[in-house]
Chain A
């Protein structure tokens, strides 16, 4: 690890001004990606802006028809929250499938989506539910937020403060984990909110999380696993690595989407 200066701001405003002022500054949330990459000297930020002492970034609440989760809320709290379980159980289920218990106690929702790892679980939930990402500057809809592998719409001094999920009628997340890392080799999140259907896929795409319009169209006609029977997506554009070929990933998208719809139907 290279030497760095650690800052512990108490407010989002202080954190944002540190990000703007200091060169090569990085935000530290749960640290499950940043710290290992720093240990391997793949990253060497001069300044770390630790968000753990910033007030008002954690918590879960229902406001009207929206579930609001603070950016620094760890996965375990989302997984076990009675509010999440009652209103969007698929999201609690997703959070409970991330990594292992140690990861779930440290990793945060804001950190996960800001990093936008192509194999992370939360991007599928955020895109699959059509959530809104609230930052210190603006509100960004999930459809405009994820910009490709490890890329988001966030500006350099922009900080996610919370994520707002609309309550949906039906939803489910089905994950095929990489047996070694527990990241999603492929994960599919489906949701139905009146006439809006979303099918979001993580792990499979070469460019990170993506929606599957052909599946969504088929499900609009009739929301059931049978509607996806025989539908596939092309291997073109899928990721390919030692854990899975593009063909296998494309195949799993279809299998998991059918299972997710079946699970959403209960």
Chain B
């Protein structure tokens, strides 16, 4: 029986402290392998009553150069609700990293194979990852609505930025250029081509 940090044998006054038990469980050469293995293990599976549902709003402002199609992100404001936050600094870091990843997906990153199945974006000279200059200073804030599905009231935060960012970026660009016919990644050439297409459609109409 385990109580008050001690193991006791029911009906006797024999007991051993938790620290002694755990230490002895790992002392080498004390165990005859055939009879007993050293170590102390216990597993548990927590089955919450429901998933957690973080929610948030990301606002991205872009400036599109209509002559080249180049898009620059000039401002970013994100407010997310992750329920109870234990360490706000690392949570903000998760949001920053997620936004950077999402911006990469929206503007820069694409895996391209040629017709023979050869990967042509096989190095960072051709596969474009986001860099610091692709991002403005991010304004990140949080609201706290505790999750009812676990005792701590916490929600997931790792993917929030990566989920919100592509949508925010592409919505900002399509709003700027006046056409929603735009595939990711919205590279300068892709945006320029979308503008050309929209212009010729406008002229034809």
Contact = CB atoms under 8 A, between A and B. Distances in A.
A156 interface: no
A248 B192 contact: yes
A177 to B, nearest CB: 10
B108 A179 contact: yes
Interface in B96-135: 108, 112, 120-121, 124-129
Nearest to A40: B123
Contact of A248 (B125, B127, B129, B193): B193
Contacts of A243: 126, 189
A181 B193 contact: no
A245 interface: yes
Nearest to B130: A179
A242 B120 contact: yes
Interface in A165-204: 176, 179-181
Interface in A244-260: 244-245, 248, 251-252, 255
B198 to A, nearest CB: 16
A180 B67 contact: no
A242 B128 CA distance: 12
B187 interface: yes
Contact of A180 (B68, B124, B189, B193): B124
Interface of B: 67-68, 70, 108, 112, 120-121, 124-129, 187-189, 192-193
A180 B127 contact: yes
A180 B187 contact: no
A255 B67 contact: yes
Contacts of B193: 248
Interface string A10-36: 000000000000000000000000000
B67 A242 contact: no
A244 B191 CA distance: 12
A179 B187 contact: yes
A245 B128 contact: no
Contacts of B126: 180-181, 242-243
B20 to A, nearest CB: 57
Nearest to A251: B192
Contacts of A245: 189
Contacts of A255: 67-68
Contacts of A180: 108, 124-129
B68 A176 contact: yes
B136 to A, nearest CB: 16
26 contacts: A176-B68, A176-B70, A176-B188, A179-B108, A179-B128, A179-B187, A179-B188, A180-B108, A180-B127, A180-B128, A180-B129, A181-B125, A242-B112, A242-B120, A242-B121, A242-B126, A243-B189, A244-B189, A245-B189, A248-B189, A248-B192, A248-B193, A251-B192, A252-B68, A255-B67, A255-B68
B195 to A, nearest CB: 11
Nearest to A255: B67
Nearest to A186: B68
Nearest to A254: B67
Contacts of B124: 180
A140 to B, nearest CB: 30
